[in-house]
Structure 1
């Protein structure tokens, strides 16, 4: 198939692109490089079956030009992903994540292309102790980022119901691994690993008892591609995660054995914090036979190895 991956030069997008190419698909990447980089795709730079377009999903002419190619599948990853930035600048996240998604949907409708919308576990309300979050769990727009993702989900569902657009909504839980940023908008795992390698202090927001379900990025990419291509998933919402959560305190201790280098600091935006996240992935297993293959310990080891290599 010919697949358009928006945000394909980003962290998860880069792994999705690699997975698609390895399965024999032709891939068109659209990315404005606000979160991604050309270097993320350098491994595939000589591939004749990969086309990279630098542009914005808010630019209708750019999209029109891309869809002159026969696009059969769209994996829509492009988004402003920084929760704190969304609180500080809600207009930016609305224009990109809602209006941009609408623009892509319009092109998908005209092209009769399959559409996979990559949402987030951040749309969920918090879970009680011991409760895994399924797709029917209540949602809560605790930040403009989550609100924009829920708005995007609703638009995707409306195009599925009103126009018969073959679409699926995917809600990956916290994803980590090689090529993820180690700055403020990056994930907690590479941020902690980077600080541990540099001999720096690992800062934890709040009391550190908040939990996350951490999924290795190659498992996430496999899930995204399989769900995007599956007729059984059309019209569905699917979670993906490890199925186990860990407190940020325990994660920090796993990565850094020197407890004196772990510090608790005041949360910048506590209202957006979700105290507990653990994924119920049973629906993905039922529809796709998908399960993650990488343990947290193994994934952290792979991430550390990659970061060590790139430091040399």
Structure 2
């Protein structure tokens, strides 16, 4: 199949591209490189099914029109987005334009050409939950940041196209994803940042008290979930979670990664108002509809990520 991946030069996008190529699909990537990196795709440029990497903006309607007109895509995996919570608080306009308006432009092309779209959302849309069985797709949403608000708006637009036009649409909400090729600086890569600091001998810095928990999903499991959501009609019109089904506090994560070799420090939280205290995924719906479940546990995922950071000299 001809497949388009927006945001395909990003961390998760790169692994989605790899999975699609491994499955024998013909892949085009559109990315403006605001978050992604061209070198993430370097190993694929000579692959016979890697057709084209276009540096461009999802808000460029002319570019999108030409891409969709020329290539007869069957599936669009829409991962292109502004993803930083603090950036969305500082500059909500950019996040809204990229995540909501940009999604509308992609949806319009998919509608015109009847292309299935898998929309990448986030677990950050959920309201706080202390439920031990984990957060299901029926759990209330509560946008605690403009990033989460923009994603919910885009989700609703995507699902409206399923209802109004019969467009095959799937909304995926992966929980906190980590692994090789994640940036080792900035927000969103707590595992990568902790590992880099541990390898350098630097302190691991925790925002706030560190009691907040995260459900950490290894990136290859995440990519398999995203790709298979595109293949299956069972999840058309559905919102589907993916996670490990196990949460860990940031304090416990720091202890696990530090191995007692470096200091652990607590620093003031940069956006406490947008923190979600407990994130634990219930992925039963993905298991039921897609036959998907995670295969890489946290300890193995950390080992693989540490090895990649060490051998990539990113310390």
So what's the TM-score if we normalise by structure 1? 0.98
Query: What is the DSSP-based 3-state SS (H/G/I as helix, E as strand, rest coil) of the residue aligned with 1:311?
Result: coil
* Distance in structure 1 (CA, Å) of the matches to 2:235 and 2:273: 33
* Distance in structure 1 (CA, Å) of the matches to 2:260 and 2:245: 28
Query: What is the DSSP-based 3-state SS (H/G/I as helix, E as strand, rest coil) of the residue aligned with 2:28?
Result: strand
- Contact (CA 8 Å) 2:202, 2:262: kept in 1 or not? no
Within the candidate set 151, 154, 162, 2:153 is matched to: 151
In structure 2, the partner of 1:254 is 256
* Distance in structure 1 (CA, Å) of the matches to 2:113 and 2:33: 25
Q: For residues 1-312 of structure 1, what are the structure 2 equivalents within 5 Å?
A: 1-50=1-50, 51-67=52-68, 68-128=70-130, 130-258=132-260, 261-311=263-313
Query: What is the DSSP-based 3-state SS (H/G/I as helix, E as strand, rest coil) of the residue aligned with 2:71?
Result: coil
Q: Deviations over 1:263-307 (max 9, x none)?
A: 001101100000000000000000111110000000000000001
- Contact (CA 8 Å) 1:202, 1:263: kept in 2 or not? yes
Query: What is the DSSP-based 3-state SS (H/G/I as helix, E as strand, rest coil) of the residue aligned with 1:20?
Result: helix
Change (3 A) 1:129 1:264: farther
* Distance in structure 2 (CA, Å) of the matches to 1:97 and 1:185: 18
* Distance in structure 2 (CA, Å) of the matches to 1:97 and 1:211: 26
Query: What is the DSSP-based 3-state SS (H/G/I as helix, E as strand, rest coil) of the residue aligned with 1:104?
Result: helix
* Distance in structure 1 (CA, Å) of the matches to 2:21 and 2:131: 41
Query: What is the DSSP-based 3-state SS (H/G/I as helix, E as strand, rest coil) of the residue aligned with 2:117?
Result: strand
* Distance in structure 2 (CA, Å) of the matches to 1:260 and 1:303: 18
**Which structure 1 segments of 5+ residues have no match?**
none
**Which structure 2 segments of 5+ residues have no match?**
none
* Distance in structure 2 (CA, Å) of the matches to 1:46 and 1:62: 24
* Distance in structure 1 (CA, Å) of the matches to 2:17 and 2:300: 23
RMSD: 1.0
Figure out how many residues of one structure are paired with residues of the other and give that number.
312
* Distance in structure 2 (CA, Å) of the matches to 1:172 and 1:103: 23
